[in-house]
Chains A and B, each alone.
Chain A
Amino acid sequence: MSATGTLAGSGRESESAPYSVPRGPIWLLRDIWAEGTRHLRATIRNPDLLVFAALQPIMFVVLFVYVFGGAIQIPGYRTYQQFVVPGIFAQTVVFGSAFTGIGIAEDMQKGFIDRLRSLPMYQPAVLIGRTWSDLLRNAFTFVIMMVVGLIVGFRLEGGIINSLLATLLLLAFAFAFSWIQAWIGLSVKSVEAANSAGFIWMFPMTFVSSAFVSTESMPRWLAKAAEVNPFTIVTNAVRALYNGHPVGNDVWWSILWALGLTAVFSALSFRKFQNTSK
C-alpha cells in the first residue's frame, strides 16, 4: 500500500484494525506463530545461549563414554555408547524444557505477560507459542547432541525409521515437559524460583532411572522406583528403537505418558494463565 493511500484512508484503516477483531483457527495459528517467532528470533540473535545449552550435555556424553565407558559393561549392548547415549539424549531434551518455565517467569516478572493479556489476541497463543518455540530450540540442541554421539562411536543400529521414531518420541516427551515447566513458571513468578523449582526434581528423576546404568545394579527399592519412573520408560523405548531391540510396550506407554502430561499440564497452565494476577 502506498503512503498516500494509507493517509487518505487513515481514519477508516486504523479503525477497522482494532475494532473487528478477527477470530477463528487461522488467527489462533497466526498468534501462535507471532509469539513463537518472538522467541525464536531472540534465540537466533543470542546463539551463545544455544551453545551453552548444548555444552553441558556434550560434556556428559564425553565424560560418561570415556570415564565410565571402560568400566561399565551392559549385557546386550556392543558398547557402553549404545546404552548411554540415548539416555543422555533423553536427559538433555527434558532438561532443555526448563527454559520454558524460566522464560515464562521472566516475561511475568517484567510485566510482558500483563501486556499480552491486555491485547485482543488469542490468550492461549502466549503459552503455545512459547512451548512450540522451545520444542524447536530443543530439536536444534538434539541435532548437536546426535552429531557428538556419532563422533564418540554411537551408531543407529536400529535403522533410519526406528531412529526417526525414537527422535520423535524424545521430542514429544520434551514438549510434554515444557508444559510442566510452563505451569511451574506461571506458579512461581520469579526467574530465580523458576530456575530452582524447574531443575531440582529433574536430577533425581533422570538419575533414578535406566538412563545411565541398568536398574538391575540398583538396590531393590531404588530399582522399583526407577522402573515406574516415566523417564525410564521413555529411555527404554528410545534406546530399544535406536539399537533395533524389541521394544515391547514401552513405546505405547511413553506415548501415553507424553499425551497425558501434555493434556494435564497444558490444562493447568491455561487455567493458571487466566487467573494470573501478579
Chain B
Amino acid sequence: MTADHQRRYPLGACDLAPIWRTGATLMVVVKDLKKRFGETEALKGVSFEVEPGTVLGVLGPNGAGKTTTVRILTTLLKPDSGTAEIEGIDVIANPAQARARIGLTGQYAAVDERLTGFENLQLIGRFFHMRKSIAEQRAHELLDQFRLDQAADRVVKTYSGGMRRRLDIAMSLIARPSVLFLDEPTTGLDPRSRQEMWEVIENLVAKGTTTLLTTQYLEEAERLADRIVVIDHGTVIAEGTAGELKAQSGGQRVEVTLSDASQLDRVTPALSEFQIDGTHESIDVDALTVTIPVTTTDRLVPAVVRRLDSVGIDVADVVVRRPTLDDVFFELTGKPAEADEDSGDQRGEQ
C-alpha cells in the first residue's frame, strides 16, 4: 500500500481475520471429496487442509478438478461423498453459514457490466446484509486498495480485463471473508496484467487473508502459495511447500543439449549410472535437450561429458541445475504440466 493509504487508514486496510476469531483451528478441512459427472470422475478422493493466514496453491493442469473442488467448497456444488469444512462449518450441511465466511472469485470475472464499480461493490455488501454506511466505507477502501478509485463511478463495461479482475476480487473481499477462493486468477490475462494481479494477491497475502488459489502455472504457485497441493485427474498426487516438492523430486538434474536430434534417445541409457532410480528423463525435441534427475556427485559435469564422449554422443552443452516446479510436475505425472490432456508431451521443460 502507498504511504498515503497508510496515513489515512492507520489501523485499517486490514483484511486480516482477527487472531481471536481464528484461534488455532484450521480454516479449511477437506476430506476425501468425490464427484462424478456422468462418465467423468472429476474428483476421486481429494483431501487437504488450509491453516489460518496461509495461502494454499491448488496446482493442476486443465481438467484436473480444481474448479470442481472450489465449487464444492463455495457451496455451488454438492459432492457425491466426502466432507468439507470452513472454520469448522460443514459446507454441505450448513451452506448459508459457510457462505457468510467465504469470498469467491471464479474463473471468469463475475461483475455486472451495466453497473459502476462502486455499485457492484455496494450490491455485494447489501447481500451480506452489512450496514449501508459500513458497506459504502468498505467499498471506497477497496476501490482505493485496488487502484480503481478513479474508475469507481464508471460503468464496468468500460473497464479493461485487468480492472474487471481486480474489481472481481474486491467484491469477494467486501465482507472480510475468513477464506478467499481465487480460481485461476491470472488465466487469460496478458503478462502485464498478470504481474499486476500477482502484486495485488501478494498484498492481500501479506495482510494475512487466508486464501485458496488454483492455478495451472507452477511459477504462480511458487510465487504466491505457502503450501501447494498438486492434483491431477481428480487425485492429490503431491503436497508440500515448493521447497519440499522440489526436494521430493530428487535434488539436482543435469540438462544435456545435443547438436543433432538423432542421438537424443541414447543419452539416458548412457547416463544411467548417474540417474536417480525410478525417475523419468524428459526430452525436449525442439531444444535438443535431455533432462535427467541425478544423484549429487562431485565434478558431475566433467564426468557426464566424459561418459557421453566415450559412447560417441555429440554434446553441445551440459548444465547442472536445481529442480523447478515444472520438473516436479513432470516427475509426478510423467508428463509436462500446462499441457492439455491429449496434447503432445515433448515439452519437458520451459
- Show the binding face of A for B, using Cβ within 8 Å: 1, 3, 6-8, 10-11, 13-15, 17-19, 21-22, 27, 30-31, 34, 38, 41-42, 45-46, 110-112, 114-121, 277
Stretch of B104-112, B204-212, B287-295 contacting A (4+ beta carbons < 8 Å): B104-112
- Given A18-B177, A118-B102, are A38 and B155 neighbors across the interface (CB < 8 Å)? no
Indicate if the CB atoms of A115 and B176 lie closer than 8 Å.
no
Instruction: Mark contacts of B125-138 with chain A using CB atoms, 8 A cut-off: 1 yes-contact digit, 0 otherwise.
Output: 01111110111011
CB of B175 within 8 A of CB of A17, answer yes
Query: In this complex, what residue of A is CB-closest to B105?
Result: A115
CB distance B112 to A120 under 8 Å? no
Task: Give min CB distance, B282 to chain A, whole Å.
Answer: 36
- Chain B residues lying within 8 Å of A116, measured Cβ to Cβ, are 127
Q: How far is the CA of A277 from the CA of B76 in the complex (A)?
A: 7
Interface check B269, CB cutoff 8 A: no
- Interface-forming stretch among B9-17, B144-152, B226-234, B327-335? B9-17
**How far apart are A232's CB and chain B's nearest CB, in angstroms?**
37
Contact of B134 among A1, A115, A120, A277 (CB under 8 A): A1
Q: Does B280 contact A (CB under 8 A)?
A: no
Q: Contact partner of B119 among A8, A18, A41, CB < 8 A?
A: A41
Chain B residue with the shortest CB-CB distance to A109: B108
List residues of chain B with CB within 8 A of the CB of A14.
Answer: 134, 138, 175-176
Contact assessment for B126 and A18 in the assembled complex, using a CB-CB cutoff below 8 Å: no
Q: How far is the CA of A121 from the CA of B125 in the complex (A)?
A: 10
A110:B110 contact, CB within 8 angstroms: yes
**Inter-subunit contact A34/B127 (CB<8 Å):** yes
In the complex formed, the residue of A with least CB distance to B96 is A120
A-chain residues with CB within 8 Å of residue B131 when the two chains form the complex: 13, 17
Q: Which of B10, B126, B171 contacts A34 (CB 8 A)?
A: B126
**When the two chains form their complex, are residues A6 and B110 in contact, meaning their CB atoms are under 8 A apart?**
no
Please judge, given known A-B contacts A3-B137, A34-B126, A277-B76, whether A115 and B171 are in contact too, CB under 8 Å.
yes
Q: Mark B81-107, 1 if CB is under 8 A from A, else 0.
A: 000000000000000110111101011
A21-B97, A114-B110, A120-B129 given; 12 more Cβ-contact pairs under 8 Å: A6-B134, A7-B12, A10-B14, A13-B134, A17-B175, A18-B177, A34-B126, A41-B119, A111-B109, A118-B102, A119-B127, A121-B129
12 contacts between A and B (CB under 8 A): A1-B137, A3-B137, A7-B11, A8-B11, A21-B97, A34-B126, A38-B112, A112-B111, A115-B124, A119-B124, A120-B129, A121-B129
Inter-subunit contact B137/A6 (CB<8 Å):
yes
Q: What 9 pairs between A and B have smallest CB-CB spacing?
A: A42-B114, A121-B127, A111-B110, A17-B130, A18-B175, A115-B110, A120-B100, A120-B99, A34-B126
- Which residues of B in the span 1-43 have a Cβ within 8 Å of any Cβ on A? 9-12, 14, 18, 21
B134 adjacent to A42 (CB under 8 Å)? no
Whether A119 lies near B99 (C-beta < 8 A) is yes
Q: How far is the CB of A259 from the nearest CB of chain B, in Å? A: 30
A7: B residues at CB distance < 8 A: 9-12
Which among B100, B104, B115, B176 is the interface contact of A41 at CB below 8 angstroms?
B115
